[in-house]
Structure 1
Amino acid sequence: MPLYLVNNDEIGVNDLPKERRALIMLFGGTGDLATRKLYPALFNLYKKGNLRDHFAVIGTARNKINDAEFQELVAKSVAKESDDKKLIANFASHFYYEAHDVTDVKHYSVLREKADELDKKYDLQGNRVFYISMAPNFFGTVAKNLKTQNLLTENGEFNRLVIEKPFGRDYESAKQLNDELSASFDENQIFRIDHYLGKEMIQNIEAIRFGNTIFEALWNNRYIDNIQITLAEDLGVEERAGYYDNSGALRDMVQNHIMQIVSLLAMEQPVAFKDVDIRSEKVKALRSLRVYDVVEASANFVRGQYGSDNSNKSYREEDGVPADSNTETFVAGKLLFDNYRWSGTPFYIRTGKKLAGKFTRVDVVFKKPLVDIFAFPQSGSTPLNDNVLTIFVEPNQGFSLRVNAKNNEQGFHTEPVDLEYMEDQKNTPQPYERLIHDVLKGDGTNFSSWPEVASAWKFVDQIRRVWDIQQPNFPNYIPGSMGPVAADELLARDHRQWVYKINR
């Protein structure tokens, strides 16, 4: 039996991962995302054997460089992934470059000729992935020209379009963009990347929920008091000020990342673990999300903007930010579902910049026993703590379950104990590696469908409309905190508190 070397280990041909044949055409091939994330992701798939001899990449951008210079750029971008220079050189040899203006129809004929040439050279069997890593205003233009200039093949197994966020800035712009894409590609051919859906513990939500009776039996409003989702960043806007000031935390984080996490936590159990069934249940959950009126939106959502301290500039002092900007850098909110499973159980969300740390976590707070038999006055015992299931998404990956147990002191006293599991991250695939592999497989499970995007925008748009007619009192939180005091008050009104909190 033939033997192959994969990560310096000899394995038989029958043990190799399934090879994916495809031409990948990357618009924005010299950009920051491509060099930091996409090329290392492709290289890791190459090392593992998911990509081998039968793949090619055409990078396009306005830059005037040749194939050799492009291959050098690719090799440099993956250098930290391996010490094997020959392996890197072999990988980079599959990359080709074409200077391209996406608005010039004539340029697409050059791309078509190059794509047909590489299809024959690498025996790609007509399979094509078109990855647009550019500003969203070019998505529709590229998709239209790919169709009209005959870059989509009819003799292959697939043509797939991959696009990065943001997918619109409100429902109307998102619908217009989707209509433009749908004129050239079917919905099952469009892969809207949200890199949070490639994270290990986000994908683990389904395993934890549907793979364990101990949780799924209790995953409802009868046993869960509330669910909290926190996406915290300790940095400011850095070099993204131009984009961020036109977006803000609501559009940048809530509409996509947070709403996707919410839908995974709230959805019903799918008929089968397949992309169509999972997406269907996520859509049902989002459609049952209560869209607030003006009064409800004002009461249930909080915004913030970071100020300055001794070592940090305020948001309004950042380069590229107007001195009177009212763009929010923090959002906290209370979400309610009008369905049988979740009626009366709030989902609390928060995200922001210049917070106490960089981390993402989900805290599922279970209801306390109806009767606390340990807390009668004569017992002298402290009240029971909440049972909390915490899913640590980043930087650490794992989960813990907080339960009440007797301590070893004299008498009978309870205290919280954490049952914890943390993953070894050394061999965990990075999000883009997972997601690109899913694109090559044609698995849409971890991508946003149009109905999900539409439902999320309809909810977020209402919050945005209310905020646009109100004058905020900014700045209202200091760097290193967990946001404005109003975010704590949001839960305090419901006689609750954030599971993760710091002393002010």
Structure 2
Amino acid sequence: MVIFGASGDLTKRKLMPALYSLYKEERLPKELSILGIGRTVYTDTDYRSYILKEIKLFLNSSEQDGPMMESFVSHLYYLSIDPAIESEYGQLSCRLEELSGEERPDNLLYYLATPPSLYGVIPLHLKKWRLNSKHARIIVEKPFGYDLESAQELNRIYSSAFDERQIYRIDHFLGKETAQNLLAFRFANGIFEPLWNRNYIDYVEVTAVENLGIEQRGGFYDTTGALRDMVQNHLIQLVALTAMEPPAAFNADSFRNEVVKVYESLTPLNEVDLDEHIVRGQYTVSGSKKGYREEKNIPEDSRTETYIAMKLGISNWRWSGVPFYIRTGKQMPTKVTEIVVHFKETPHQMFRMAGDKAPIANKLILRLQPNEGIVLKFGMKLPGPGFEVKQVMMDFSYDKLGGVPSGDAYARLIEDCIQGDPTLFTRSDAVEASWRFFDPILQYWKEHTEAPLYGYPAGTWGPLESEAMMHEHGAEWTNPCKNLTNTDEYCEL
């Protein structure tokens, strides 16, 4: 396994802990060598010491095992080259021959944990030095492209160096157990799938928010924004999992065919819809919290969105008329990623709700983080005289499985790649179909600099305009409380 960007943040924070967990559970090939590539100068010994020190910061104390960690890092090697310079790949070729004992090693896995500017460079250099063997695989991080044109160009570059079956475009959201469990929940249970359509579902929310700012990523984030960073990949993938038709069989081709069909069914937004169905925001100063424009490397007149809420429609028989509301943002009150399915109210209300509240429809919450789990809200009669109904919850969370871990998303996806299973990775046509929908939005913002960008105080749930957007449908956001620790902590708006 060759990791480009081996001295970077993603490698120490996500990849090495994931690989260590696989190694500890004996789920890696016994003879696997992991070669780190980066511009920072390390010897093999120095790099092993560096990783051993760093991964301890990202592992729970229960996961740390001194002898096992020492054994894991003994499989690490390092080569200091600049991945942007083609001539230096000769050193990579020699090192791979040395580690594998083969003149032309074939069983290779490349991981691009680099800035996106290198995504189109590395595969061409690998091809030039004939390191793109027919059994090699390559994992590429998001964002895959900056817009439709750049995504199409990247697809052309990768298809010139590798077959589609060798290319693994990773989205770690799909490695989360609850994302996968959504499919099992829908297609393995006969009581839910018959209700999963416009006849019974009123609207759907997809939320992925963080309680942090941009941290030290100012230079990257200001050229990216929330739509490119989160919506075009993560959130739209979750919409696809929620809305897709049952695959003919659960294999890579059938599953990914249905994902593409959802993307191609998204109702295009015209210029009028863009202002009515999209709310952009940017966090501002609040108490001790900086505003976005006060962050390092951010221009004082930046119009990059740190929050976006959208109303999407899906033009097909199952979902026609059902709005999908999606949102993502920085500096929110808490960190949470979840899908909320709002069912329609009963056609006739016979009972009084406790506290004289308005009738509340059934709600299904599928949480990806934190405390992964599923909650179903439904009405039950309160004990005592009369028929007063209160909404109660039936919930499941992975931490209640007697200590069985829900698993690391990166570990799951890296293992799938090693096994040659591309089911949970994005295919080239899905990338382009997604960009084809979102590209006109980016073009509109570029051409209309006066398009609304609303401020919201850091630590709040975003611009009030995002709530107003939902009122037309009689809907409202489901806002988890601050310091969310379990499935019953939800705040009133």
TM-score, normalising length: structure 1: 0.90
**Worse-matched range after superposition: 91-100 or 381-390:** 381-390
2:274 aligns with: 297
| 2-structure distance, mates of 1:321, 1:262 | 31
Please provide the CA RMSD for this pair. Answer: 2.2
2:408 aligns with: 430
Q: Is the 8 A contact 1:44 1:433 kept in 2?
A: yes
Matched, 1:198 2:175: yes
1:266 aligns with: 243
Q: Is the 8 A contact 1:54 1:124 kept in 2?
A: no
Per the alignment, in what secondary structure is the counterpart of residue 191 of structure 2? helix
- TM-superposed CA distance for 1:53, in Å, is 2.4
Per the alignment, in what secondary structure is the counterpart of residue 239 of structure 1? coil
Identity of counterpart residues, as a percentage? 39
Q: Which residue of the other structure, out of 429, 450, 467, is the alignment partner of 1:451?
A: 429
| 1-structure distance, mates of 2:148, 2:176 | 26
- TM-superposed CA distance for 1:428, in Å, is 2.3
| 1-structure distance, mates of 2:239, 2:23 | 33
Between the two proteins, the alignment pairs up a number of residues equal to 475
Structure 1: runs of 5+ lacking an equivalent: 1-23
In structure 2, give the amino acid aligned to 1:329: T
Matched, 1:400 2:378: no
| 1-structure distance, mates of 2:44, 2:297 | 36
Q: 1:380 to 1:390 in 2, by over 3 A?
A: closer
- TM-superposed CA distance for 1:139, in Å, is 1.8
1:323 aligns with: 300
| 2-structure distance, mates of 1:106, 1:59 | 18
Matched, 1:355 2:355: no
In structure 2, give the amino acid aligned to 1:209: R
Per the alignment, in what secondary structure is the counterpart of residue 165 of structure 2? helix
Per the alignment, in what secondary structure is the counterpart of residue 341 of structure 2? strand
Q: 1:391 to 1:146 in 2, by over 3 A?
A: same
Q: Which residue of the other structure, out of 124, 130, 143, is the alignment partner of 2:123?
A: 143
- TM-superposed CA distance for 1:52, in Å, is 4.8
1:6 aligns with: none
Instruction: Provide Cα deviations, 1:222-277, integer angstroms capped at 9, x if missing partner.
Output: 11111101111111111111111111111111001101101111110001111111
| 1-structure distance, mates of 2:429, 2:345 | 36
In structure 1, give the amino acid aligned to 2:396: Y
Which runs of structure 2 are paired with 1:219-368 in the superposition (5 Å)? Answer: 219-368=196-345
| 2-structure distance, mates of 1:309, 1:106 | 50
- TM-superposed CA distance for 1:318, in Å, is 1.5
- TM-superposed CA distance for 1:473, in Å, is 5.3
Matched, 1:109 2:72: no
In structure 2, give the amino acid aligned to 1:289: L
In structure 1, give the amino acid aligned to 2:204: I
Instruction: Provide Cα deviations, 1:112-171, integer angstroms capped at 9, x if missing partner.
Output: 2221232238x99831101111122212221112122122335xxx21011111111111
**Worse-matched range after superposition: 101-110 or 169-178:** 101-110
2:7 aligns with: 30
In structure 2, give the amino acid aligned to 1:349: I
Which runs of structure 2 are paired with 1:52-91 in the superposition (5 Å)? Answer: 52-79=29-56, 80=59, 82-91=63-72
Structure 2: runs of 5+ lacking an equivalent: 481-490
Q: 1:83 to 1:299 in 2, by over 3 A?
A: closer
Report the structure number with the largest CA radius of gyration. Answer: 1
Q: Which residue of the other structure, out of 383, 389, 396, is the alignment partner of 1:414?
A: 389
Q: Is the 8 A contact 1:374 1:381 kept in 2?
A: no
Q: 1:473 to 1:263 in 2, by over 3 A?
A: closer
Which runs of structure 2 are paired with 1:155-170 in the superposition (5 Å)? Answer: 158-170=135-147
Matched, 1:391 2:383: no
2:477 aligns with: 498
| 2-structure distance, mates of 1:227, 1:235 | 25
| 2-structure distance, mates of 1:153, 1:305 | 46
Instruction: Provide Cα deviations, 1:176-231, integer angstroms capped at 9, x if missing partner.
Output: 11111111011111111111111121111111111111111111111111110111
| 1-structure distance, mates of 2:243, 2:65 | 45
| 2-structure distance, mates of 1:96, 1:500 | 46
2:460 aligns with: 481
In structure 1, give the amino acid aligned to 2:281: G
In structure 2, give the amino acid aligned to 1:432: Y
Matched, 1:97 2:75: no
Matched, 1:372 2:349: yes
Per the alignment, in what secondary structure is the counterpart of residue 366 of structure 2? strand
Q: 1:280 to 1:83 in 2, by over 3 A?
A: closer
In structure 1, give the amino acid aligned to 2:107: N
- TM-superposed CA distance for 1:503, in Å, is 5.8
1:466 aligns with: 444
In structure 2, give the amino acid aligned to 1:84: D
2:154 aligns with: 177
- TM-superposed CA distance for 1:83, in Å, is 4.4
Per the alignment, in what secondary structure is the counterpart of residue 405 of structure 1? strand
2:487 aligns with: none
Q: Is the 8 A contact 1:363 1:389 kept in 2?
A: yes
Instruction: Provide Cα deviations, 1:355-384, integer angstroms capped at 9, x if missing partner.
Output: 1211111110011122223369xx997653
